[in-house]
Amino acid sequence: MYISWTHFYIPKVFAGLAFLVNPMFVYLIFTEKSNNFGNYRFLLLYFAVFNLIYSMFTILVPIDTHSYRYCFFLFLSDGWFLEPSGIGLHLLSARCSLVSGSYAVLLSHFIYRYLAIRNSSITTRFKLYMTGTVILFVIYFGTWNVIVQTLAWTSGEVKDYIQNEFLEIYGIEPPGVNIFSLLYNEGSSEVILRSWVALISLTIISVTTILSYFILGYLTIKKLNEHAIQVSQKTAKLQKDLLKALSVQTIIPICISFFPCVICWYSPIFNIHFGRFLNCLEVITLSTFPFCDPVAIVLCLPALRKRVFSGKSSSISMSGIN
């Protein structure tokens, strides 16, 4: 289903850039002299691997979003799994759940930075910590996946609701695609209830996680200030640079993923629509952060930034960051 050149090519371009940038990012981290990033480099490797998996799904499971009256729906727009099938629905659900997975990946970084500044023994027992991060990811991914899967029950009724709109915009009837949807009004009580429960659940997960970022960031900065006179100026500066990089790394998906999703989720409640521009923008922005985040980290960390722009290996010591 060809929608527009921007929708078709731009997400794939960003996915391709992510496959180029993330291996380079891993190379920079693991070739720092004397393993300067300590155990933290494995968490960054985990982050880079997630970016590659997310980008692979961007290519293999292309999506589009649309709003019509009191309904928001998301569907597979192209590729091998376009036609309705069980595997197509599962892949679409997984693609949606990876957004929640990105929240878990970032949260594990904030938790690590807070524990590291407190000199917690957990950061030295890194296998234990990585096991915890994987469990955290599975919880987020699984919870989001269950919520999204419940919306499959609403799709039959919604396909009838959006049939004329879908046919006019996309040139095919909605039964011909895999689709998840939220319907807040003008539907059966069961479908409306499922939609509201799903919306509230998704919102709670997103908002509480973002609040956790801010709380952990504040506690980390507070602890950094308390330890300022106990550690060297170089170590304190490095910790602040790492936290700055993590903050930028977090702001990017909040701005280009969370906020567009919230607008698309909530505007149909009031029968307010911002046109195809917002829908297309959301699809594009959801594909950008696996490329933007590693670039932001490199630019925010002086040691890595100098290596990229000078082409020389850094001799700056980064000991003390666990």
Domain ranges in the chain? Answer: 5-310
Region of 23 please: left (phi>0), alpha (psi -120 to 50) or beta: alpha
CA–centroid distance for 85 within its chain? 26
* Third-level CATH fold of 5-310: Rhopdopsin 7-helix transmembrane proteins (1.20.1070)
pLDDT at residue number 316: 42
Q: How many residues belong to the chain?
A: 322
* Helix, strand or coil, per DSSP, at residue 145: helix
44: its two tokens: 């960054």
Task: Map tokens 């917690």 to a residue.
Answer: 120
225-245 pLDDT tens trace: 776 555 566 666 766 777 777
Query: Cα–Cα distance between 282 and 258 in angstroms, integer?
Result: 10
pTM of the model: 0.87
Low-confidence ranges of the chain (pLDDT < 70): 1-2, 33-36, 153-154, 175, 227-236, 238-239, 311-322
Structural contact between residues 255 and 282, judged by C-beta atoms closer than 8 angstroms: no
Q: What is the dihedral of CA 38, 40, 44, 49, to 10 degrees?
A: 90
pLDDT at 231: 58
Amino acid at residue number 263: I
The candidate with the shortest Cα–Cα distance to 174, out of 154, 145, 198, 146, is 154
The pLDDT value recorded for residue 252 is 75
Instruction: Provide the pLDDT for residue 228.
Output: 58
Q: For residues 117 and 242, what is the distance between their CA atoms, to the nearest angstrom?
A: 11
Give the pLDDT confidence score for residue 319 in this predicted structure. 40
**Identity of the amino acid at 15:** A
Calculate helix-pair angle for 189-226, 86-117, nearest 10 degrees.
20
